[in-house]
Structure 1
């Protein structure tokens, strides 16, 4: 009797398993990787016809003579269309592979598109279509986005991948902001903060640098430097390199930085160093019955270079020199921050997110000024407190020009 009941239970269990298998989703409608065209970059320029964009799409394709699947070439198309969906529809008529949007790394808006406004409509497609990810990077192009994506680089990299690599390696120098689609949309939602986007441009030999150009294809280089301030999706102005560096300090976005005091004219000894660690905190204080946002920046720096040291220093003299270096580095940081704050006051746009910090620290006070915040920006009191600590002063207590016994056999 027990045996029959056991057989019956096993039979019911097997039927249940088979029933479950019937309802499991499989790879129905799957597409093989070989049949897909991975999208790497999209660029937007102003089209010739009113209301249109010149949309450049850069896809990857494996090299035919490559022994590994990691080597890729680009396949780039430029199509004039009034919307992103229309551009992809036109592209689908000529490409032999199905475009795959989930691999998109970077979206580039040209300077002209940013000044004309309206590119948020293009981003609407990127945030609604399921294949797109909000982790893609957004950048502004000096000149045309099409030219950036068609640029032949000396490194041999595809431009979209070169921009991605430059952005992801940006923590080592921390001189431009990193903006992903998700972050940009979040900033738009705050209303009080003006969006800011990093700027990419092509660099030819002789423009701030010299390099041996390839005579065959006139290969060049790509540089990401400075940033553009937006009102919604309209470019208002570009920040200088110094103003962008100030933004990075104030936004607590400095991971590592190369920093020098060469521009401080009052000092004969100049220092060069590397930021090891930096942290920026914010306080809302009352100063003379007026509210004030105070930035507190604490930074540790390693000295890499000393210029203009004329004599061998004693122990106490070396300690005093290190203290002088701390003051000089602090002056450079203050100067960069002040230039960024000055730019914000001139533009009347809160790209530094001061209103956001006030709301976080004192929400009750923020409610009293948020409706008039753009009028308040120009006169709102901001102070900066910078503390620099030298944690490594180098392996020598003298200059290379006056070594006494050091490094000798």
Structure 2
């Protein structure tokens, strides 16, 4: 009986060792700078980097409130700048709460592998941190914006990125997604673009359009409409609004809300050349009719459907042409589709894909389905 009690006691002590011990790397909140956002610029005079971070500062009081501050430091590398920042602020940075990583246009054009290598290696930085390219003179300017809706600019940007599908006029990209695109065959990466706008008393960052990359260097931009078409081609369109202008005899503008979109891209060989067949089917609802044109009747819906299909098809062709002729960058992943579906053919064209892509033929077919309860609503009529 005595031996059983001893065994139970030892077993209880062992369990307590596992469940009652503290964290080995525990740090008081007052001993660290909680980093919410990061911006990277080039220091031109000595070819150094400027690392700027937005830090969260909890306010004392009965209710939990936060304030934010932006601090910067120069360094030969980002790692060097981060360590120098510790000596000047007397606190280590806590990177696990970093939500956004903003890269200046200058660095993006030179190549961003060097700057994202640091956050990719750092164990504290999460792989789902959002990446953006600043269209302002510096990336730091984005973090210095002012908003009353959020405690920090980084939180403001994060909310916008999470609601990408409401407009689909930018592509939200996390670190791991960007690295995957960089390392994949037959596809070029894109990142969302941010810039400052003035809204009443606030100066806040907006996100619109995409920065186009060729390997790790930015080669140009596509706007929000072009980004939406790119997402449709890549079968990544989750929502948004198509605006179809001048429909019918009364030149009525119509807003179509996107419910669902499905695109299939298939490579085919035609006379020894690769042709990309793109079939898109989109379910939409009538969100707004700016006029009294009858677009609810069967005849009116058919008229709207045909015109909308032509508009969407043209927008898809335009962004493909821009990527081919201006940027020579396969942001649609056509090469990756060939790699997956025609591996033997890919071996033949892999080394020359950049040249082949410039003159690649596409066949686009768009099918639009108008659905939703708005079909029961007649256009507003104005009496004599």
1:391, CA displacement in angstroms?
A: 0.6
Measured in 1, the distance between the counterparts of 2:215 and 2:275 equals 27
- Alignment of 1:8 with 2:3, yes or no, is yes
- Alignment of 1:142 with 2:122, yes or no, is no
Question: What are the equivalent positions in structure 2 for 1:136-215 lying under 5 Å apart?
Answer: 136-143=129-136, 144-204=138-198, 211=199, 213-214=200-201
SS at match of 1:305: strand
2:368 aligned to which of 378, 384, 388: 388
RMSD: 2.5
Does 255-264 or 157-166 show the bigger shift?
A: 255-264
Could you report, residue by residue, the CA deviation over 1:368-388 in whole angstroms, capped at 9, with x for unpaired residues? 211211111012221211111
Task: Using structure 2 for the length normalisation, give the TM-score.
Answer: 0.91
Could you report, residue by residue, the CA deviation over 1:231-273 in whole angstroms, capped at 9, with x for unpaired residues? 2332111113332222111122211111111167998333212
Measured in 2, the distance between the counterparts of 1:395 and 1:350 equals 39
Measured in 2, the distance between the counterparts of 1:121 and 1:266 equals 56
1:40 aligned to which of 36, 45, 58: 36
Give the equivalent residue in structure 2 for 1:87. 81
Q: Is the 8 A contact 1:174 1:253 kept in 2?
A: no
Q: Is the 8 A contact 2:185 2:335 kept in 1?
A: no
Measured in 2, the distance between the counterparts of 1:126 and 1:180 equals 12
Residues 43 and 18 of structure 1: CA distance in aligned 2, closer, same or farther (over 3 Å):
same
Residues 96 and 372 of structure 1: CA distance in aligned 2, closer, same or farther (over 3 Å):
same
Measured in 2, the distance between the counterparts of 1:266 and 1:137 equals 46
Could you report, residue by residue, the CA deviation over 1:56-87 in whole angstroms, capped at 9, with x for unpaired residues? 1111111335x432x31112101111212211
Could you report, residue by residue, the CA deviation over 1:194-242 in whole angstroms, capped at 9, with x for unpaired residues? 21111000013xxxxxx5x33xxxx313210011111233211111333
Give the equivalent residue in structure 2 for 1:407. none
Q: Is the 8 A contact 2:42 2:48 kept in 1?
A: yes
Give the equivalent residue in structure 2 for 1:68. 63
- Alignment of 1:324 with 2:303, yes or no, is yes
Q: Is the 8 A contact 2:168 2:227 kept in 1?
A: no
Pick the structure with greater CA Rg.
1
1:286, CA displacement in angstroms?
A: 3.3
Measured in 1, the distance between the counterparts of 2:383 and 2:55 equals 57
Measured in 2, the distance between the counterparts of 1:267 and 1:355 equals 44
Measured in 1, the distance between the counterparts of 2:8 and 2:317 equals 73
Measured in 2, the distance between the counterparts of 1:26 and 1:157 equals 31
Q: Is the 8 A contact 2:49 2:81 kept in 1?
A: no
Q: Is the 8 A contact 2:153 2:204 kept in 1?
A: no
Measured in 1, the distance between the counterparts of 2:204 and 2:230 equals 25
Q: Is the 8 A contact 2:305 2:369 kept in 1?
A: yes
Q: Is the 8 A contact 1:334 1:386 kept in 2?
A: yes
Residues 7 and 194 of structure 1: CA distance in aligned 2, closer, same or farther (over 3 Å):
same
Moved over 6 A (4+): 263-267
Measured in 1, the distance between the counterparts of 2:352 and 2:44 equals 40
Question: What are the equivalent positions in structure 2 for 1:289-368 lying under 5 Å apart?
Answer: 289-310=272-293, 318-346=297-325, 347-368=327-348
Task: Using structure 1 for the length normalisation, give the TM-score.
Answer: 0.85
- Alignment of 1:55 with 2:48, yes or no, is no
Measured in 2, the distance between the counterparts of 1:381 and 1:394 equals 38
Give the equivalent residue in structure 2 for 1:114. 108
Structure 2 stretches of 5 or more lacking a match? none
Residues 385 and 131 of structure 1: CA distance in aligned 2, closer, same or farther (over 3 Å):
same
Measured in 2, the distance between the counterparts of 1:150 and 1:324 equals 49
Residues 159 and 334 of structure 1: CA distance in aligned 2, closer, same or farther (over 3 Å):
same
Does 76-85 or 360-369 show the bigger shift?
A: 360-369
Q: Is the 8 A contact 1:260 1:272 kept in 2?
A: yes
SS at match of 1:261: strand
Give the equivalent residue in structure 1 for 2:97. 103
1:294, CA displacement in angstroms?
A: 1.2
Q: Is the 8 A contact 1:106 1:160 kept in 2?
A: yes
